[in-house]
Amino acid sequence: MTERRSFAPRDPDFAARVTASFERQGIMAHLGARLSRIEPGFCEIVLPYRPELSQQHGYFHAGVTGTIADSAGGYAGFTLFPAASSVLTVEFKINLLAPADGDLLIATGRVIRSGRTLTVCELEVEVEKDGRRTACAHGLQTLITVTDRPDHPG
């Protein structure tokens, strides 16, 4: 991953806003994913292995890997967005580097550039097995700040 840059969030309550949004995501609850770190411009999501998340060889499915990578990047960008806004992914590309063979997936999103409208993030997914981590996916993502539309219903 690129060197970690320092960002100043526009919303002092960014961590609570990110956590609340994450908890409203049905897919994250369905998968069993949880937020493990939230910092300005950075987010980490972990996902324990279950057979229901695997493909035919018993590895984490690429769709699951891509899903948590997308959310990790989205929430990394969202940490820097204004309070009365929401986040949507415009585009993301992921390269699968190795089979996701392990007990835990760890997805990180890191902001490369946060603009007024578009934000670009780097995505990385590692798989942990027997206490050892292996990079299994790497990607790039573009997010859009949706203004005047808070991330919560109502």
The 10s digit of each residue's pLDDT in 106-153 is: 999 999 999 999 999 999 999 999 999 999 999 999 999 999 777 766
- HSE, CB side, 13 Å, CA atoms: give it for residue 51: 0
pTM, whole model, 2 decimals? 0.94
Report residue 14's pLDDT band, with 50, 70 and 90 as the boundaries: very high
Which of 122, 154, 153 is CA-nearest to residue 21? Answer: 153
Where do the domains of the chain lie? 14-147
Classify strands 85-96 and 132-147 as parallel, antiparallel or unpaired.
antiparallel
Do 100 and 127 touch, CB atoms closer than 8 A?
Answer: yes
pLDDT at 5 over 80: no
The 10s digit of each residue's pLDDT in 45-83 is: 999 999 999 999 999 999 999 999 999 999 999 999 999
Q: How large is the average pLDDT for residues 26-45?
A: 98
Distance CA 121, CA 59 (A): 26
Alpha helices for 8-137 (secondary structure H):
14-24, 26-31, 62-78
CATH of 14-147, one of 3.40.720.10, 3.10.129.10, 1.10.579.10, 3.40.47.10: 3.10.129.10
| Residue 16 CB contacts under 8 Å (≥ 6 apart), including other chains | none
Higher per-residue pLDDT: 30 or 5: 30
